[in-house]
Structure 1
Amino acid sequence: MNTLLRKILLVTLVCFITGVSFSQKNQIAKANKEFDRFSYIDAREIYLKVVEDGYKSAEIYQKLGDTYYWNSDYDNAAKWYSKLITEFPNEAEAEYYYRASQSLKSLKKYDEADKMMLGFAAKGGNGLLLKNFEKDPNYLKSIGLVSKAYILEKVSVNTDYSDFGPSFYGDNKLVYATSSNKSEGFRIYEWNQQPFLDLFMADIDEEGKLSNPRSLSKEINTTYHESSTSFSKDGKTVYFTRNNFINGKSGKDKDKTIRLKLYKATNNGDGKWGDIVELPFNSKEYSVAHPALSPDEKRLYFSSDMPGTIGMSDLWFVDIIGDNTYGVPVNLGDQINTEARESFPYISKEGNLYYATDGLAGLGGYDIYVTKLNEDGTTGDITNLGEPINSNQDDFGFVLNESKGLGYLSSNRDGEKGSIDDDIYRIQEKCVIELIGTVFDENSKELIPGAEVTLLDENNKVINTIIVGEDAAYNFTVECSTTYSVRGTHEDYKPNEKIVTTPDKTGQIVVPIPLQRKGCPPNDLGCILCLQPIFFDFDRYNIRPDAEIELAKILAAMVKYPQLIIDIESHTDSRGSFSYNDGLSEKRAQASRSWLISKGIASSRLTAKGYGERQLLNRCVMFGECGNEIGTYDCTQEQLNNIKCSDGIKCSEAEHQLNRRSMFLIQN
């Protein structure tokens, strides 16, 4: 074995692990909208004119607020939503409290926004928030196979020397190797001019920060190298790495090299470590290092270049049969091991194997990988943990409490001196949520390619906008414990918005965006203006106050657009005789026409006709002498003109009122 290889094996203690990178954000231009033949009719201007003329209703304020809200004019949106909530609190639905709050936040009026949110909650607004998500999303805690976002920070106990190889000792202590000049029997290691390594211990606070560094044990630390430990759950047993040195004597291989070995020590509760014994599968002819206990403590994993090794060093395991009794070492095989170096294994409580290797494609040097470890010793797919865990330098010695999303790793990424610059980093999982979904037609359920999906923050600021492809799917990465809006729009559909409050654990939330087709016939002025039906009381043709508000919209449109000529259609329900309803509907149509003429619209621009019960919107028909059910769905015109009906009625009052209506159609 050549000198270079020997040196590499000697310094196995001082270097190691992971990598992957990702980043992208697109900006996409909006598609041009086709000009509709009646798109010059601006509903917002009509609403404003109606309000200016003294008419008001919850519906007008809602529509006005929406026209500004969907165009991100939150100043005006807040104005009209506030009017809606102040003047028509009983008619304002929860979603308008939320939109009002969002609009106010955009204006930095946070106190007012908070009040709106109280109203939102009082109105049952929780139903608008997506609170539920899959109980077991695919993230690191459960399967360990998903790359995560982490925050890295150097720990305070790092020294000017090499610090690496952290391991958990109970719930509130971290043990690590350091070549600090405070180590036991301080000596300089000739090869790197650093002190020999000793094991130190530090306290872990609730945030994972370290303090109070001190020597682990005078009994364990010697004048040679000690590093990389693994503790039993009860804290009474520790496996650790040391040069071939015990009872004051060092051992060398045939090339006079001091190899690495695994040892076990016992703590009987007095705070001191004793009964230090060498593991029986060590040898002075090869190195065995970096122990890792399985969660059930029935197996010990380690790194070695013992005979049977595929590369320079491989991962192995032995069964722990009893006190100081072990099975035959088993190589983890070529699914894990490569022709290069595999080292620093760590097995989490959830059974995920983390380790360092420079034998797989990575960012450079040692990279950290993870795989699911099965009970039979086999492994699953291997995943590189990616940036920022991995860098273009050596990254290794990774340990993680997956339930807390808190761990530590070793890296020399911030230095230029190789292993001398090894430092320990605290890693904290950055909670992220993947928002995914599709945009589809609310009625047909067909996908809507080309729809625009916008992500907005809790202050209604646009974060990202995408145009969905043929699969109509979108994907946003967002933060945990945060409220967002996901807005879908398309030129042929009404906009829709979903409010999402993300959970406090990394995962995925599916937020479908159904859109309702606009569907207004080009000549239906009532549909274009979102006109409410002009209803009449039973057996009456006088204009009701609520109908007057709707007629005011027609009036404003006709004033603004003098070229409009309107056909007024009036309809009745099926109660009363057929001939009587013809006359009643004619009077209602003429009443609507007369109202508009009284407001200054030329009579030549208005026609009016009553259709009686000839065009019912539902099957609210009467019983009569010509058959069972008599109505426009069942009888000929001749039958309807001559029928004599009884008083049998099949529908509720609300259903009948749907048929008592007026429509306003633009003449071509």
Structure 2
Amino acid sequence: MCKSLLYKKTLMSLLVILLTTVSFAQKGKVNKANKEFENYSYIDARKIYLKVVEDGYVSAQVFQKLGDTYYFNSEYSEAAQWYQKSINEFSYETDPIYYYRASQCQKSLGNYDESYRLLKSYGELNGDEIIAKNFFQSIDYIKNSESQKKYIVEKVAINSEGSDFGPSFYMDKLVFARSSSINEGEKVFEWNNQPYLDLYVANMNAEGKLSNVKLLDGEINTKFHESSSAFSKDGNTIFFTRNNFIDGKMGRDKQKTIRLKVYKAIKNSENYWTNIEELPFNSDNYSVAHPSLSPDEKRLYFASDMPGTLGMSDIWYVIINEDGTYGDPINLGSTVNTEARESFPYVNKKNNLYFSSDGHPGFGGLDIFVTSLDEGIAQSVSNLNKPINSNQDDFGFIINEDGQLGFLSSNRDGAQGSISDDIYRWSYVKCESTIKGVITNVNTGKIISGATVILLDTENNIIETVSSKDNGAYSFDSLLDCDKSYLIRASSKECEFNENEIIIQTPVKTENINVPVMLECDSCPPNDLGCRLSLQPIYFDFDRFNIRPDATVELAKILVAMREYPQLVIHIESHTDSRGNDAYNEFLSERRAQSTLDWLVERGIDRSRLSAKGYGEYQLINECFNGVECTVEEHQLNRRSVFLIQN
């Protein structure tokens, strides 16, 4: 009995020692994987984590970091599995950010309900964060968003089998980053086990078609990474991203990690890039990358995780002084930056900042966003929607000078995450639509020839002016942009003060548009200005010719019309009632006509456009003749001025 008990205790002790030894061995492997992870050697770290899990050792940290090795290589399907394991098996140990990353992964996979559920959990755990506030302010963003059909997005022909991304305009060429093919024995980048990147240049025609790809000349490309460039307008200066390597020397941070830096180079007389210098706001201890110049070349924008960054990387800028020195880095703030990734800034000539982020409401992975920069301050942020964005990574957006086409980077058509990055050309859908129609009288239905028809844009700029033909038909020859608002304004000489305006929305594809326009022309006699302007009668006091205050209100309407229509010429007719001497009334009515004319002349109307005549009591509008008893109000109706349009 005692021997049996001793045997059992011995066996248990050996089992505990064995398990402890195994546990220490697995922890040692995890520590090694963590070191690889911290050095961004994600592929090497992944191999160790997978082996540890296969051997039965699991933890929230292992699942989370294993997911990260896929997430940061844009392999969202695999990342989702490991994040979900951490949440399911170690919910209380799972950091809130992994609920967010899991949500992003599910969104990339099209699982929107699950994405929202995970995002809600993230918000409950970390509701004060910028990401949570952004998403909960527009929780149904994807469900309610519509594709921008005005864009055509297509893959360019010069993409390689490796990664191609980060386009930039260089005069009439395009410069971009590419990973070359792997040669035997060649060193690869530990992050994704792929070759290092170099900068390439391609010819570009007016339609944005690319050809003749070759390495960028000069001293820029090395055995390490070069990517994401920006060029001065004269094409003689380049800012570009490179690993911390210059003059044959490699720099590392405290963890022996090689960071990214922004460098500057100058083109010599032989079109050879040389004189490479490191910018002063770089550091061995953080990354600076993806430079972009402002239109006036007085600011340099970039992405960085330097101290003061809100998330994994933020958009920053520095002022470029007149002497070529640089100001201190300035963070663009929480309107643009979140706790996630903001990167690849680009500023077009309208001072709009385009950037990529996975911290603003989007479709999954990195999406492209835009914000206007008002005196350097970012305004509200907008998603560019599909087809510019997809449920994978979309970044590196640029736009040409006329704003009609550009390029972007995306892995939307690949299954290997960031290895599948390609360059896409985008362009606006060109509408070749014409607008035509017929001008008719709204009351009679009769056609109106000779009507003036004006096409205007949303800023009230005239695009084209035509006249309706004998059959009342009109048409514009101008080709219009798709899915855009325009204004048609029609008027006719015989009813010019009853013009009609119609707002139209062009279709999303080439299409002829028929827009009939009706004018109200017969409600007033052709020459009755008072009727056309809906004037109240202009009356005078008994035996007076001065302009009364109530009359000035109506005369002001005439004044506005004459200023707006310089071709307008009017005749003023003034009258009296029947009381008093007939000859005196003729004199009085003439004074009334002249005082009315003088009121307009005193306010800037040329006297040559006005004529006036008094008609005494000879054109009464009622039965209040001499000897007829009438009320004060009835006599008042005859003491008036009327206005007639002169041909």
Normalised-by-shorter TM-score class: 0.3 to 0.5
Q: Which has the higher strand share?
A: 1
Q: Which has the higher helix share?
A: 2
TM-score by length of 1: 0.46
